[in-house]
Structure 1
Amino acid sequence: MSERTLAGDRYVLSEPPIGVGGMGTVWKAYDTVLHRDVAVKELRVPHGLSPEERDALRARAMREARAAAGLDHPGIVTIHDVVDEGGLPWIVMRLLPGRSLDLAVRADGPLSSRGAAELGLRLLDALVAAHAGGVLHRDVKPQNVMRDGGGNWMLTDFGIASVAGATRTLTGTGLVTGTLGYVAPERLSGATPGAAADLWSLGATLYFAVQGRHAYDHDDLPAMIAAVLTRDPEPADGAGPLATVIAGLMERDPDVRMSAETAREHLLAAAEGRTVDEAATERLGVPGIGVSGRPTEKLGRPTKVLPAEPPRDSGAGSDEGVQVPEPRPGEGPGSARRSRALPALAWLLAAMNWALGALVGLVIYSSGDGMPIWIAVALAGALAVGGGLGAWLLAPPLARRHGLPAALTGTALFTGGLFVSAGVLVVAGLPGALAAVPLIAAFVPFGAFHQLARLTRRRIVSIELLGRVTAVHRATGFAAIVFGTGLGYMLVVQVYGDDPARYIPGATMTAGILVIVASLLVAPALHDVSTHDPVPDALTGS
C-alpha cells in the first residue's frame, strides 16, 4: 500500500489516525523537509452544503488557520503550516506526546484544586494572548487541552478559530462550531460571539477538571441546549477555592461574566494556596497591610485600602505601635455591610412584588366591574414583554453607568413613580384606559429591577450560601405577591368602595408609595456596600 502524502510529498502520513473528532481527523506525519514529526489535522466539511458554501467555508478555514499560525505563546500549540489539499484545508502543527485533559481525568481522576488552578492560569493566559491578536478559539474543551513533553498544559485546535471582525460575511450558513456543553449560551442563542464566550468554555473545562464530569450532560440534544440556556450547572463540590471562579466564568449573561483579569486573580491565588485577599495583600508587602501602611479589608477581590484611622495613645513613653486584632470569620465591616444589605434587598423585593400583587387584585376586581378585557390582557402582556425588555436591555447599561445598588433603587423608585402616576391620571379625570399606560410602562423598570436584584445577590453572597439566600428571596417575593393580591382586593372592596374614580387611584397610589418609601429606606444599606465593593469588571467594562 502506497504512503499517503501532502504538499507535494513533503508530509508523509502514518496510519491509522491518532484522533478523530467532530471537526476533523488528526494524523501523525513526518516532515521530509525539516526532518521532524508533526501532527496534521484534516478539517471536516459538513455534509449538505452547496458548492458555494463549501468554497466559503474552506476559504474561511484557511484564513483562520493562517491567523492562528501567527499566535506565539507557550500555552498555544504552534501551527507550522496550512495546506490546501484536494479542496480541503489541512493544518500542520506541533506534535504533542502527552494525553489530553479528557483522557487524563478519565484515567487518573479529577485534578486537585491547585492543579486545576495552574491549568486554568495556563489556558487563560493563552486565550488572552489569542484575543489580543484578534483570534477567538470557539472550541475550548478538555479534548483540546494537551500536555507537552515537559508536562505543561497547552491549548490546541486553534485551526477553527474565528478571526474577530474578519469572517462576518462567511458565517451565514447557520453553522455553530464547537462542542455542546462547552459552547457558551450566547453562541447557542445566535448572538455574535466575543472573547467572553471563550471564557465560558474555559469555566466549563475547569468544571470537568475538578469534577471529572461535564457541567451539562444530557443525551437529548434539545435538552442539552435548553439546560445551557436556562439554568446554572450543579455546584462543583470538588472545586474548593475554584468554585467562585468557575461560577463566575460560567455566568450565562456575558455582560456580567467574570472578566479575564478577575479570573486570573482567583486562579493565581488558588495556585499559590491562598485566598484572593491574601494574595493581593501579600504581593503588596506585609500581609494585611497595603502600600500606604494602612490596614486593608478582605473583600474577596483585589484589596482596597481603607481610610487611615487616627492614632490611639498606647501609653506615655511607649515605643510599641498599635496592634490591630485580626477579625474573626463573619466579623468586620465587610460582613456587617452584607448583613445589612441582604435583608434590605429582601424588603425591597417584597415591596416590589407586593405592588405587583396589589395590581393583580385591582385587575381581578375591575374585570368584574366593567373594565375592558383588553386592559387586563395588555397588562399581562406587558408583564411578560416589558419585564423581559427591562431585564435584558435596560438592566446591563444601567448597572454599567450607575453601579448595581444605584440602578437597583433607581428602577424601584421609577416603578413606584409610574404606579403613582397612574392614580394621578385617574384623579385628574382622564379615562381609565389612559391610566393603564404608566402601569404598562412600569413593567420595564420592574423587570430591570429583578435582574439587578439577582446580580446584586450574586455579588454580596458567597457561592456557598447563594442557593439558600436565593431560595429565601424567591419565597419572600412569592409570598409578597400573594399577600399583595389579597390585600389589594380588600383595599378596593373595603376601603375605596365600588367607584373606579376612587379605587383605581387608591390601589395604584398605595402600591406606588409603598415601593417609593421602601426604596428610600433601604437605599443607605445598599449604597453602603456600593461605596466599598466595586462593580464587577464585566459590568463596568474596565
Structure 2
Amino acid sequence: MRAAPGQLVAGRYRVTDRPTGAGLPAQDVHTGAPVLLHALDLPELLVAGEPGDLYEEPDHHRGDRLAEPVAALADRVPRHPRLLVETGAAAEGDLLWVAAERVAGAPLDELADTGPVPPYRVAELAADLAGALRALHGAGLVHGNVTAGAVLVCEDGAALLGGLLLGAAQEAVCAQLAGPVPRRRYEARADLLGPLAERWPADAGPPGDCWALGVLLYRLLTGHGPYPEDDLPTLLAAVRDGRRYPADGCGPLRSLVEELLDLGPAARPTAEDVQRRVRALLAGAPEPFGPGEEEAPLLPVVRPAGPVVPHPRGRRHGGGHLPVPRGPSRVPPALLGPLLVGGVLLALVAALAAVVLAAG
C-alpha cells in the first residue's frame, strides 16, 4: 500500500504503522478511532468501442463517484457482534481507500495457511459467519465477498465478517471499466479477482452468499477449494457443471457442506439454517479428551524426597537424567550398635562351621 507512517490519506486517515496482513493501520483524525485501510487501484477507463484507447483528459472526479455509493453502503449495514464495522470509503489520486474498525486479531486466511482446520473449530467459525450473513440478509443486503481474507479472527476466537465495502468497491470498479459491454465486465472481474471460487457464485443474492460460505467451509476443512482453481475458465466450467472434489475430509460438517454446494438456490440452506445446524453440532461436540484418550498428568509433578546430588565428575548417567537421589536411612540409631555386633558374631560362627567341615 502506497502510504507511509505519518502520512494523511484521503484527508482523513493518519497512517500509524506499516501495512500488515490485515491492512494498513491508521487513525481517523475526525473521531480518533483506530482503523485499518485497504487500497484499491483505479485503472484508467477505456473509450467505448476502442479497446486499448484511453481518455485523453483524466477524469479527476471518477474516484469520488465510485467512493460515494460505497460510503453510503456503510450506513445501511446493521450493527451485529459478528460484523466488522466498516466506516467508509474515500478516493485520492488513483486509489480508492476503504476503512474498517481495527480490533486485535488475525485474518482467517493467515491462520488457515498451515493446513486443514479441525471440524469443530470450523463449526464455531461457521456459526459466527452465518450469524453475520443472517443479519445482512435480514437488512436486504448481499455480502458478495465471503472469503477467508474478509474474515478476522479475534483474540477470543470469535470470527468477524468484514470485506463488504471492499467487495462492493471492486464490483463498482469492474462495472465502470466494463460500461455497457458484459464481456468487458467479465474480463475486468477476471483480472481483479482471479480464480477464487468464493467470488464466482452461480447464483445471485443471499443464496450466492450461502454457496460461497459452503466453499469457504470446504476450504478450511480440507486445505483446498472444492473446485479446480488453476485458471478461471476451468473453475467456472466446474462450478457450472457441478463437478467438484469429494467432501470426504469434511467430517461431521460433510452433509451441510454438500447441501450448500450441491442444492439449487431454492433448496439451499439459508444463513439461519446454517447457524441452527452448526449450533446443534457444537452442542454435542466431544470434550478435548475423547473416548479412549488419557488425560495428561496434572502438573507440577512431585519430586522425590531428598537432595539432588550431582555426579562426582559432573557427568549425567545414560539418557541425560540425573541419578535418582536416595532417601534417608529408615533404621533407628539406637539399633545400629546391636545389629553391628550380631553381624560380627554371625560371621565368626559361619567361619568356624566352614573349618570343621573342611577338617572332617
Q: Distance in 2 between matches of 1:28 and 1:106?
A: 23
**Change in 2 beyond 3 A, CA 1:68/1:131:** farther
**Change in 2 beyond 3 A, CA 1:173/1:195:** farther
Q: Distance in 2 between matches of 1:195 and 1:132?
A: 10
Identify unmatched segments of 5+ residues in structure 2: 48-54, 286-360
1:262 paired residue among 273, 277, 289: 273
Cα deviation, residue 204, structure 1: 0.5
Cα deviation, residue 210, structure 1: 1.0
Q: Distance in 1 between matches of 2:17 and 2:5?
A: 11
Equivalent pair of 1:184/1:200 in contact (CA under 8 Å): no
1:124 paired residue among 122, 130, 155: 130
Cα deviation, residue 37, structure 1: 2.6
Equivalent pair of 2:228/2:234 in contact (CA under 8 Å): no
What are the Cα deviations for residues 510-539 of structure 1, in whole angstroms up to 9, with x where unaligned? Answer: xxxxxxxxxxxxxxxxxxxxxxxxxxxxxx
Equivalent pair of 2:74/2:87 in contact (CA under 8 Å): no
1:90 paired residue among 85, 88, 97: 97
1:17 paired residue among 16, 19, 42: 19
Partner residue of 2:245?
A: 234
Q: Distance in 1 between matches of 2:136 and 2:95?
A: 25
Cα deviation, residue 242, structure 1: 0.8
What are the Cα deviations for residues 152-194 of structure 1, in whole angstroms up to 9, with x where unaligned? Answer: 111111114559xx99x9784543655621134425xxxxx21
Equivalent pair of 2:25/2:35 in contact (CA under 8 Å): yes
AA aligned opposite 2:252: P
Point out the structure with max Rg over C-alpha: 2
AA aligned opposite 1:121: A
> Is 1:135–2:141 an aligned residue pair?
yes
Partner residue of 2:27?
A: 30
Aligned-CA RMSD value:
3.4
Q: Distance in 1 between matches of 2:16 and 2:275?
A: 40
Identify unmatched segments of 5+ residues in structure 1: 21-25, 188-192, 275-542
> Is 1:211–2:222 an aligned residue pair?
yes
AA aligned opposite 2:111: A
Q: Distance in 2 between matches of 1:31 and 1:220?
A: 39
Percent identity of equivalent pairs: 28
Secondary structure of 2:244's counterpart equals coil
Cα deviation, residue 146, structure 1: 1.0
Partner residue of 1:103?
A: 110
Equivalent pair of 1:183/1:197 in contact (CA under 8 Å): no
Q: Distance in 1 between matches of 2:241 and 2:215?
A: 15
Equivalent pair of 1:65/1:158 in contact (CA under 8 Å): no
Partner residue of 1:245?
A: 256
Q: Distance in 2 between matches of 1:142 and 1:14?
A: 25
**Change in 2 beyond 3 A, CA 1:271/1:47:** farther
> Is 1:5–2:21 an aligned residue pair?
no
Partner residue of 1:487?
A: none
Partner residue of 1:220?
A: 231
AA aligned opposite 1:218: E
2:88 paired residue among 81, 84, 97: 81
Q: How does 1:462-541 map to 2 (within 5 A)?
A: none
Q: Distance in 2 between matches of 1:221 and 1:55?
A: 33
AA aligned opposite 2:116: P
Q: Distance in 1 between matches of 2:128 and 2:146?
A: 13
Equivalent pair of 2:74/2:88 in contact (CA under 8 Å): no
What's the TM-score once normalised by structure 2's chain length? 0.62
Q: Distance in 1 between matches of 2:254 and 2:43?
A: 37
Partner residue of 2:76?
A: 70
What are the Cα deviations for residues 98-117 of structure 1, in whole angstroms up to 9, with x where unaligned? Answer: 2222111113x322222111
AA aligned opposite 2:31: L
2:197 paired residue among 176, 181, 186: 181
AA aligned opposite 1:220: D
Cα deviation, residue 236, structure 1: 2.2
Which has the larger share of helix? 1
AA aligned opposite 2:14: V
Q: Distance in 2 between matches of 1:266 and 1:83?
A: 39
Cα deviation, residue 13, structure 1: 1.9
**Change in 2 beyond 3 A, CA 1:30/1:162:** closer
Secondary structure of 1:147's counterpart equals strand
Secondary structure of 1:261's counterpart equals helix
Secondary structure of 2:106's counterpart equals coil
Q: Distance in 1 between matches of 2:24 and 2:9?
A: 12
AA aligned opposite 2:84: V
Q: Distance in 1 between matches of 2:239 and 2:264?
A: 11
AA aligned opposite 1:186: A
Q: How does 1:191-340 map to 2 (within 5 A)?
A: 193-251=204-262, 253-273=264-284
Q: Distance in 1 between matches of 2:152 and 2:234?
A: 30
Secondary structure of 2:165's counterpart equals helix
Partner residue of 1:40?
A: 37
What are the Cα deviations for residues 71-99 of structure 1, in whole angstroms up to 9, with x where unaligned? Answer: 21111111223323236432221123322
AA aligned opposite 1:4: Q
What are the Cα deviations for residues 294-326 of structure 1, in whole angstroms up to 9, with x where unaligned? Answer: xxxxxxxxxxxxxxxxxxxxxxxxxxxxxxxxx
Q: Distance in 1 between matches of 2:227 and 2:18?
A: 32
